[in-house]
Amino acid sequence: MRNDPLSTQSMDFAVSIINLVKELKLKKESIVSNQIGRSGTSIGANIREAQYAHGKADFISKLQIALKEANETGYWLELLFKTGYISEEEFRSLDAACASLRVMLAASLRTAKEKQA
């Protein structure tokens, strides 16, 4: 297990997303729950893959994918809130965690790109 903040937060976020998907499945919602389940857990998976990247370009690519997945997850969260599947409180909490991951990923990408040049 990795203990760096990005790995820890992405794992915690993935656990929250899996718990959300369980709740959505109980409500018989399957379209968005499948999408958010994939994108929300993919963030951490790509961060984990980046840790064993084949060079700097591969590292950057994996983090860029993680950032895209985080952005997509934010979209699904907003859609779930606007359609009444999650409360405003749950939306705000999950969206804040997702936004925090996006900020950390953007900063990591900026640093990696500066070191690559």
Kindly list the domain boundaries of the chain, sorted by start residue: 5-116
Query: Do residues 80 and 91 lie in contact, with contact meaning Cβ atoms separated by under 8 Å?
Result: yes
Segment 33-74, tens digit of pLDDT: 999 999 999 999 999 999 999 999 999 999 999 999 999 999
SS3 annotation, 1-54 = CCCCHHHHHHHHHHHHHHHHHHHHHHCCCCHHHHHHHHHHHHHHHHHHHHCCCC
Segment 1-27, tens digit of pLDDT: 568 999 999 999 999 999 999 999 999
pLDDT of residue 116: 75
pLDDT of residue 84: 96
5-116: CATH superfamily: 23S rRNA-intervening sequence (1.20.1440.60)
Query: Do residues 60 and 109 lie in contact, with contact meaning Cβ atoms separated by under 8 Å?
Result: yes
| Cα angle: 96, vertex 97, 99; to 5 degrees | 60
pTM over 0.85: yes
